[in-house]
A and B are shown apart, each in its own frame.
Chain A
Amino acid sequence: MLELRLVQGSLLKKVMESIKDLVNDANFDCSATGFSLQAMDSSHVALVSLLLRSEGFEHYRCDRNLSMGMNLGNMAKMLKCAGNDDIVTVKADDGGDCVTFMFESPNQDKIADFEMKLMDIDSEHLGIPEAEYEAIVRMPSAEFARICKDLSTIGDTVVISVTKEGVKFSTRGDIGTANIVLRQNTSVDKPEEATIIEMETPVSLTFALRYMNSFTKATPLASQVTVSLSSELPVVVEYKIAEMGYLRFYLAPKIEE
């Protein structure tokens, strides 16, 4: 028996909107630790890793580890039917073939349940080792989204370079080139507007903007995004989910053959 009650149901709505276009089907894994997912996009270039820790739920019951295969587009459709202030409860029986999403309005005057069929998914799981990254950039998530969107009107790839001067986002396309440099800025009044650059070694990596733009659909989840880079390693773009966990995107770089 699985029963997870999330008072801030909008978090789950935002998570689904962030990943449904990147990944079609995925297994949600439930354990005593929490509700998690690891899935790659169909071309196996990008990976989504989600963790919602059990402590973040108002009620978390998971009698035994359970893996539930879901079509993310269909799950997103169902969660779209929840109000932004609704409490969302996810329920499933051990060995059952469906999952129920229950939506309660804050004053309990409307209660809805949506049942969705589960599916068997043969997913490939990657072992991602803990890595020391050469450069970690923390910046406003809306700024990161703006940069990725702007650069994708010029070119298809972005070169992210971190030096002691700052972080540079560059692209080139048929019509010309673009460079955007952000300097460390910790002097702002609000911490969510800060840009913080931790650099061990200068690093420069190239990524497909199509994926970066897809990751920025998670912008409503967090005011800040963390971009972790190491030469010849996938970049990690992380959105923290308030006191519950994270949504991380991994993207393989483009490298010289």
Chain B
Amino acid sequence: CTSLVAEDKAGKLYHARNLDFGLFLGWDIKNNSWMVPEYLKPLTVNLDFQRNNRTVFKSTNFAGYVGVLTGMKPGTFTLTMNERFSIDGGYIGIIEWILGKRSGVWMSFLTRSVLENATSYTQAKDQLANTEMLAPAYFILGGNQSGEGCVITRSRTACLDIWELDLKRGRWYVLETNYDHWKVPLFLDDRRTPAMKCMNLTTQAKISLESIYDILSTKPVLNKLTTYTSLMDVSAGTIESYQRNCPDPCMPW
């Protein structure tokens, strides 16, 4: 996965992501692609969750999956989740759950609840940072005011880091793949450097949904695991998602 929150010169915030999934879950030799992503793509749907006929939040989901990996509360905040690898992982949380220790929350139920119930960027950040979980994760959160954008690095039980936009110091975007931002990514899976190179080449002056789509279409940010790309404009309240393909030659991850 690659998620980013960027602020343009006018203080407008954009949030976008590639949803990559299905590593090592079966390779389709005939089509030269992973199997699971090809079955996930036609399940991709945009959802408008409503109460009293009014939008509470919107999301991009796989049909049948009730949690949220990509979502937005229009005019308030946007949220995506990227996987975080850790030896203290979700399987420990599942074993604890089965053994009756139920204080943790399932990752995608947490994101769904935050989108459903949080009323501000700050409240969302607090809930995502401080709720005990069954599995580690990265939460990428964007708000609707200048400077409201961060990557929250979570272990199962604690918030390890919150990496915020900082325009005074030239940090006009935050970008997360699947590795702690203060560490070098795995040398065989560095999508961060190419993505940041393209962000820097685009510059803050020219950042827009269109140029972000270009960046998320650049290999290896786009790869064989990419199922969809989502572009979110919180002030306009729009979320647009597109199923993706990565024609050969293309990185398997």
Question: Are A and B physically bound partners?
Answer: no
Q: Which residues of B come within 8 Å of A, CB atoms?
A: none
A interface list, Cβ under 8 A from B: none
